[in-house]
Amino acid sequence: MKRILKTLLPVIVIVGALFLSWMILKAKPEAESRRPPPAIMRVEILTARKTEFVINIRSQGTVQARTESTLASEVSGRIIRVAPAFRAGGFFEKDDVLLQIDPRDYETAIVVAEAALAQANLRLSEEEARSEQALRDWERIGGDDAPSTLALRQPQMAEAAASARAAEARLEEARRDLERTAIQAPFAGRVLEHRVDLGQSVNTNTILARVYSVDFAEVRLPLSERQLDHIHLPELYRGDQVENTTGPKVVLQGGLGRAQFEWEGRIVRTEGAVDQRSRQLFIVAQVADPYGRLLPGRPPLKVGMFVRATIEGDTLNDVFVLPRRALRENRLLLIANPEDQLERREIDIVWRDQDMIVVRDGIEPGERIITTQLAYAVEGMKISTGDGKRKGPGGAGGQWARKKQQGIEAGNKPAEGKP
């Protein structure tokens, strides 16, 4: 009996526990089924307004001189005098004497050449006199035939005349060599590097210095194909004068230490070939008198400086200027319709940079553009604009639009004086 009870007792306990659990589950109250209220996303918007927009194209490059030359000695000798400006960074004017080579050997050469010329002229005079005497003798003899050139000593006279001209040429060469002992500046410029100094002996074609002109500074600026669509560049054709060709304005920005400065210039030409690797075209910006005192407190535009360039491009009329954060999937805008529902709209972007996009088609004036970054943007979802309404670019209100019109944000800006 005890054995049977011991076997059945666990079974009875388990069955009782299951029965009790079933009774508890059956007696629980049923929860009321309710639908959750629709989620409404709060967003910020901009109201689209048409405006006029001036494209500013950005690029960068390194400053270089328009003219850079290497000075070389045309004569041999020892340097006996060096100009104070003949140091790296020194300024000089055109025809200034930068170096003086010892001229005494060349002065002696002139004296020798003058003596040789005098002897050659004396011999020429003697041959001319002999030729005249030979002619008179022939006439006195009374020969019927014309005298030969040899009888009149014409070959000897021609040889003497050639010797005289050669002596004169050697004298002129000696004078030029004497002039070349004074190394003169070919233009107004600055010394980039000097390689000789006082007392040093130099030979013909010895490199003396590298110099560059200070009339203009130039910067090579690369432009992509997209940027080239929005700028009018000076295109040179055969026979055109480079100096008479000017293009868009350009503002160069560069820094010395922590300070930033600006220089104004113009695009003067494009280079003759497109870079095969980057498919970019290099244009050349030119700044006049980069070392002059045009603006107080502004340093010179030094060769080798890295500068950022802002180039004046086309003016776009009747366009919408929107912040870059409003763009979705690189081609879509999110619109808040009159029923406060979200719409996805494909647009036509005519210009973009890191701060903004410029749209011509795809939206209408007065439409509300959503600028809030949404993780999920479902067509037709309910949204709430709340107090986030503000005017878009070109409108009367809106801090972002006012900044753009005043040119506070770097890069492109709407034209001044336009709505």
Residue 149 pLDDT: 78
Averaged pLDDT for residues 348-361: 87
- Check whether 391 has a pLDDT greater than 50: no
Is residue 201 very low, low, confident or very high in pLDDT (cuts 50, 70, 90)?
very high
- CATH class as words, domain 75-102+181-214: mainly beta
Parallel, antiparallel, or unpaired: how do β-strands 342-346 and 281-288 relate?
A: unpaired
What percent of the chain lies above the pLDDT cut of 70?
A: 84
Cα separation, 73 vs 217, whole angstroms: 27
What percent of the chain lies above the pLDDT cut of 90?
A: 35
Residue 138 pLDDT: 77
Is residue 319 within 8 Å of residue 55, measured between CB atoms?
A: no
Find the range with the poorest average confidence among 195-204, 230-239, 263-272: 230-239
Locus of tokens 């049977």? 4
Give domain limits for the chain.
42-54+315-414, 59-66+215-314, 75-102+181-214, 103-180
Among the residues of 189-232, which ranges form H helices?
A: 225-228
Residue 392 pLDDT: 42
- Check whether 394 has a pLDDT greater than 50: no
CATH architecture assigned to 42-54+315-414: Beta Barrel (2.40)
Tens-place pLDDT, residues 309-341: 999 888 888 889 999 888 888 888 999 888 888
CATH architecture assigned to 59-66+215-314: Beta Barrel (2.40)
Averaged pLDDT for residues 273-298: 83
Amino acid 104 reads R
Tens-place pLDDT, residues 128-172: 888 888 887 777 776 667 777 777 778 888 888 999 999 999 999
